[in-house]
Structure 1
Amino acid sequence: MEVLRADRKFKDFNYYNLKQDNYFLLPFKFHRLKNNKEVIVNEVGDFIIVDPGTVEKIVKRQVSKEDDEDLYANLLANFFISEERISPLIDVLATRYRTKKHFLNYFTGLHIFVITLRCEHTCFYCQVSRATENKDMFDMSIENIDRGIEYMLRSPNPHVTMEFQGGEALLAFDRIKYAVEKAEVETSKVGKGLTLVVCTNLAVVNEEILQYCKEHKILISTSLDGPKHVHDHNRHKPRASSYEFATNGINLAREILGHDQVSALMTTTKYSLDYPIEIVEEYFNRGFSGIFLRNISPYGFALRTEKTKYETAKFLEFYKVALNKVLEFNLNGTYFTEDLAKIFLQKMITPFGVGYVDLQSPAGLINGVIVYNYDGSVYCTDESRMLAEQADFTFKLGTLENSYEELYFGDKAMEISEVWANEALTGCSECAFQQYCGADPVHNHATQGNMYGYRPTSDFCEKNMSVIEYLLELMDENPEIKEIFEGWVAPRTH
């Protein structure tokens, strides 16, 4: 017992002196890549890829200014070590951290209006329940549109995006017109900027609709899953080719609105997994400047059929083949991006954060996006609305009958806020890729049964970590690819 008491005595001050030899450690995390190299990442996302064993040398203060001149200089310049107890550039580091979290300054920017649940497609992986065309009881009421706009204007964000979704949004085009004209008047009164987006499969689009979109500067977002056989398989339209409707609609919309006013998204189904090259080529040949390789979301009908289910590892195989095809175009001199990689690279290479709500911490739900459903229900993300269509109302914030404060700052919002920062989640807080990733309580709940989630079995974690690691390895192994990636996130002048 006497020995135990002696061991518990306070040590001499020098025992706690963090400086050994010539530097202090600043906070950083590390990860061993598949090529056996190590990557170290600091609190603002700066990274350095180093040889095996370097992390141990850094921690043991065995990196010498004389013998490891380049490494020492990189560590010092990138806030991994400091020659003083408190770095003289600590305010610079703090400013850079604030810049990464700058999106929090503005609060909710994306306001999704589910204008109708009606749809003329019967896509087997649809993420929501859909109603047949003639059931206008599934259209958003004028009263709910008015209240949604009122709450949109309450957001402190100086520029808001009003996005119309469905069902097929254009089946309720009369409601869209009302909402657009009302929003334009009301935002001008308070001096807010306004971006308008319609999400549509383009099956019912016509020149009259597009001329209206041109007059009111409405952007078009559509779906294109790949070449004809892939798109028609994934996005079924009875007695017709959804691919023909989509591609004809894209051409007409570009002709009337302008080429860059039309964007497209793809969803990777089990069927899609066999055609990574063909899917990329479809986007390239259609004149898009890039493609977003998205895995299927675990919501709605996507969970009810074996046609859509696949392991995350299968998607990652698909993703790497498709990304390499994208890089092939770039290596041959043509600018063409992959948007998931581009989002990660923005966080890895630049000092700025991203507006993509799935990869933010604190999470983008409520902070970045809110959903006003056709029936007046309010959800914190589109995915949480999809869960509600399966009778899971965990993420329902309330209805448009509630006050703004009750919806945005009520008990449900407070409950979600406890798990929406990856800096405070076990498995994320110590992860080297924390700064590049995000928190997704809705995905955790849908796939693992609770908002907190469990990282070792999380497909969200598996996908993001694998993609980030692959990007790091590509940059380390090929300087030309690193230069291409830097070009993707650099400001473009044309």
Structure 2
Amino acid sequence: MNKFQPLDAYRTQTPYELLPFKFDRFNAAEYLLTNLVGEYLLLPTEDLPRLIDKSLDDRHPLYANLRSKHFIRHTDEQAPLELLALKVRTRYARLAGFTNLHIFVVTLRCDHSCPYCQVSRQMESEGAFDMTPVMADKALDFVFRSPNPAIKIEFQGGESLLNFELIRYVVEQAKRRNQLERRDLQFVIATTLSLLTDDMLQFCKANDIFLSSSLDGPQALHNTNRPRPGKDSHQRFEAGLHRARAVLGYDRISALMTTTDKSLDQVKAIIDEYLRLGFNGIFLRTLSPYGFAIKTKKYRGYGTERWLTFYKEGLDYILELNKAGIPFVEHYAALILKKMLTSDDPGYVDLMSPAGAGIAAIVFNYDGAVYASDESRMLAEMQDHSFRLGNLLTESYEEIILSDPLLNALEDSFTLSAPMCSDCAYEPFCGADPVFHHATSGNVLGRKPESAFCQRNMSIFKHLIDLMRRDPAARQIFMEWVNPC
């Protein structure tokens, strides 16, 4: 005779409350649940109604996860609300710092003639398209009005080295002003490295300047994508890379690639070229719908699905390399994973909400025009000035920062209130790109079912989640990308 009744006789179902979450059908058998801070969980299809009806048994294998990830709380618990609020504050803390990245377009002149160029480049002799010291001083006045304790100044072109004397002037003036300001001041020069001289390198070393360059892949592909007189773009890049590393240090030079129709069947060769040249990662970028990319029809050279195939093949190959003991990062995935696996926001402009336009980065054109983002400046080169915030010569800092083009873009790009973003399960991982949607659909919100931005990102989000679920080794690699030693 049993002395005690079965264990179930002593159980009482603890009542629970739902915390804010969104969901989407992930596959035929599961729903994806996400909350305000990007915590996610895959729930069997049949269990979603039970969860919402508050009838899910506390013995369910996912019940503890639902509590720990702040999808539900017991009615007498206050800590889950406080933890969720803390994570939300952490996620949006970056916004309080306001503008960090200030881009100086020092010239439109360039020695390359890339068919996908997003800027209306000018011939090397066209000095009228150079920023002047007077304009640079106006831009620096603006820079140091930002409340951000960390200030990054990035020099862009054209080929920025064609106006290196202006770069030298800005660096020296910024450092002089910073003796009083005491900001964390950084400098980056975006350059092809083709015109790099020893004098330039010594100046960069003396002033702790980073170099950001472009590498589209092996020599034949790079020279096709980035032609210049002499057909030696890749050779000049590689020579400049070795010289720069010898003077500045191995980790002071980064590279970006752009995917063209010529790249699509060469993703492994592109990655191998980055490895050969000693880079520890790659950013597999798609084309943007601006400038010569539109005029030469390069942007229409491939569709979203074809690029996604390229991207996933590249990511799979990178995971194979990591599993073989070769550390290598796909940087776009790493940015997304930061939002998926932590409460932090990496501050990548395209994945910010509200959009990073103006509040994360701002652009000073050579002629004094101020734009909400680099893409806004590119759009203006196509005679669309929708995101032009003002001019350094005629408007004050307050007039530019409080201008309607900026405030409207920020308001319309807040994904928690934007139509079709606010109820999207992938919203916590995503952002808003009002300039892209304006350029492609004539509307800053865009038509989400037709948006290539949405299609690309949602497919990548689902792919990353699926990889982490079915491949523990991939999940471990991703965790190392998010939390590097």
TM bucket, shorter chain? over 0.9
| TM-score normalised according to structure 2 size | 0.95
- Return the offset for 1:140: 0.2
| Counterpart Cα distance in 2 of 1:184 and 1:331 | 44
Counting only pairs closer than 5 Å after superposition, residues 150-165 of structure 1 correspond to structure 2 as 150-165=141-156
3-state SS in 2 of match to 1:132 = coil
Matched-pair contact (CA < 8 Å) for 1:33–1:473: no
Partner of 1:149: 140
Counting only pairs closer than 5 Å after superposition, residues 281-360 of structure 1 correspond to structure 2 as 281-309=272-300, 310-360=302-352
Q: Find 2:456's aligned residue among 447, 459, 463.
A: 463
Q: Quick check: 375-384 or 280-289, which moved more? A: 280-289
Counting only pairs closer than 5 Å after superposition, residues 156-175 of structure 1 correspond to structure 2 as 156-175=147-166
- Return the offset for 1:71: 1.1
| Counterpart Cα distance in 2 of 1:321 and 1:54 | 34
3-state SS in 2 of match to 1:329 = helix
Partner of 2:437: 444
| Counterpart Cα distance in 2 of 1:33 and 1:233 | 40
Partner of 2:369: 377
Counting only pairs closer than 5 Å after superposition, residues 211-226 of structure 1 correspond to structure 2 as 211-226=202-217
Matched-pair contact (CA < 8 Å) for 1:116–1:167: yes
- Return the offset for 1:39: 1.8
Q: Find 2:483's aligned residue among 476, 490, 494.
A: 490
Matched-pair contact (CA < 8 Å) for 1:271–1:307: no
| Counterpart Cα distance in 2 of 1:463 and 1:55 | 27
2:390 matched to 1:390?
no
| Counterpart Cα distance in 2 of 1:481 and 1:252 | 36
Partner of 2:178: 187
| Counterpart Cα distance in 1 of 2:467 and 2:24 | 16
Cα 1:294–1:34 shift into 2, 3 Å: farther
Q: Deviations over 1:195-226 (max 9, x none)?
A: 10000001100221111101100000000001
Q: Quick check: 348-357 or 413-422, which moved more? A: 413-422
3-state SS in 2 of match to 1:414 = helix
Partner of 2:5: none
Matched-pair contact (CA < 8 Å) for 2:288–2:299: no
Matched-pair contact (CA < 8 Å) for 2:357–2:406: no
Letter in 1 for 2:272: E
Q: Quick check: 477-486 or 42-51, which moved more? A: 42-51
| Counterpart Cα distance in 1 of 2:48 and 2:252 | 47
- Return the offset for 1:413: 2.0
| Counterpart Cα distance in 1 of 2:297 and 2:128 | 32
Structure 2 runs not aligned, ≥5 long: 1-12
Matched-pair contact (CA < 8 Å) for 2:201–2:247: yes
Counting only pairs closer than 5 Å after superposition, residues 387-426 of structure 1 correspond to structure 2 as 387-401=379-393, 402-426=395-419
Letter in 1 for 2:471: N
Partner of 1:51: 44
Matched-pair contact (CA < 8 Å) for 1:202–1:249: yes
| Counterpart Cα distance in 1 of 2:131 and 2:390 | 16
- When the two chains are superposed, the root-mean-square deviation of aligned CA atoms in Å is 1.4
Matched-pair contact (CA < 8 Å) for 1:170–1:200: yes
| Counterpart Cα distance in 1 of 2:79 and 2:231 | 67
Cα 1:278–1:209 shift into 2, 3 Å: same
3-state SS in 1 of match to 2:62 = helix
| Counterpart Cα distance in 1 of 2:179 and 2:25 | 52
Where does structure 1 differ by over 4 angstroms across 4 or more consecutive aligned residues? none
- Give the % identical residues: 44
- Return the offset for 1:83: 1.1
Structure 1 runs not aligned, ≥5 long: 1-19
| Counterpart Cα distance in 1 of 2:335 and 2:53 | 35
